[in-house]
Amino acid sequence: GGPGTGKTTIINAVLKIFTRLRVRTILAAPTGRAAKRMSETTGHGAKTIHRLLEFSFIKGGFQKNEEKPLNCDLLILDEASMIDTILMHHLLKAVPSFATVIFVGDVNQLPSVGAGNVLNDIITSGAVPVVELNEIFRQAKASRIIVNAHKINTGILPSFENHVPNNDFYFIEQEDPQKVLGIILELTKTRIPQRFGFDPVDDIQVLTPMHKGVVGAENLNMELQKTLNPVQDGIIRGNRSFRVNDKVMQIRNNYDRAVF
């Protein structure tokens, strides 16, 4: 199901039922961030699939397999659309033959990290029972982002209601890249913080589909740095300057610091 349709609520309900029945349950997700989010929303510990299968470079691969299976009766996997063919192969080999596996995800949201379209293939195979959640519940309906995401998935144009109070979805039409850059900088530094009380560095993230160009990731990062963390002493490497209080992106999990 899509966002706001109750996937997390159902996971919690299933957990409550099977915990009372003393069923050995494991929660997992493909990425560290997804696993952390799953732990926060359920109150139960969740692991990444690699950690669950005890992946080791030194020992050469996954330590959990058909000879050393997972110790569970029920395995719940969130964000299952991100699981690729190879990882799914190793995961299912490690699931005991008597155990139940529940895949939870949104085929329209996050694609497989590697090769394959596993969740979608499982759904369309007809080999396993499938339940699709398609009703957006009241709390989620308050977000135009969620409503418009569902509209786009069904081929309907999103609604742009820029003047609605507490709106969280806006569209600003501008074709000149240089003017687009100026609008982004103004929105990030001034307008959004004033309107919503957000911190420009900690609470706002700018996304772009390109690396190059005026509004590509490379130029945007430099312009945002000038705007949000003005000129000061730093370390220069090539055409980049690294300064104290710069916003950085961590691309590897750090389990010791719970950073994903």
Number of continuous H segments (helices) and E segments (strands) in the chain: 10, 8
pLDDT of 183 strictly over 80: yes
Q: Are 145 and 168 in contact (CB under 8 A)?
A: yes
Q: Is the pLDDT of residue 164 over 80?
A: no
Angle at 109 between CA 106 and CA 110, to 5 degrees: 100
- Give the per-residue pLDDT at 139: 62
Residue 43, sorted as left (phi over 0), alpha (psi -120 to 50) or beta, turns out to be left
Evaluate if residue 260 carries a pLDDT over 70: no
Mean predicted confidence (pLDDT) in 24-35: 92
* Mean pLDDT of all residues belonging to the chain: 89
Q: Domains in the chain, please, with CATH?
A: 7-135 (3.40.50.300), 172-242 (no CATH)
Q: Is there a contact between 35 and 48 (Cβ–Cβ < 8 Å)?
A: yes
Q: What is the pLDDT of residues 120-144, one digit of tens each?
A: 999 999 999 999 998 887 666 678 8
What pLDDT score does 50 carry? 93
- Tally of CB atoms within 10 A around 168: 12
pLDDT of residue 209: 93
pLDDT (tens digit, 9 = 90+) per residue, 214-238? 999 999 999 999 999 887 777 888 7
Q: Which uninterrupted H or E stretch holds 20?
A: helix 7-20
Mean pLDDT of the 85-98 span = 95
Give the model confidence (pLDDT) of 38-90 as tens digits.
Answer: 999 999 999 999 999 998 888 888 999 999 999 999 999 999 999 999 999 99
pLDDT tier, 180 (very low <50, low <70, confident <90, very high otherwise):
very high
Are the C-beta atoms of 64 and 70 separated by less than 8 Å?
A: yes
Residue 37 Rama label (left phi>0; alpha psi -120 to 50; beta): alpha
Judged against a pLDDT cut of 90, whether residue 162 lies above it is answered with no
**What per-residue confidence (pLDDT) applies to 59?**
84
Q: Please tell me the predicted confidence (pLDDT) of residue 239.
A: 78
- The pLDDT of residue 13 is 95
Alpha-carbon dihedral angle through residues 159, 163, 166, 171, given to the nearest 10 degrees: 50
Res. 204 pLDDT band, cuts 50 70 90: very high
How many CB atoms within 10 Å of residue 217? 15
What is the structure's pLDDT at 40? 94
- Over range 245-253, report the average pLDDT: 81
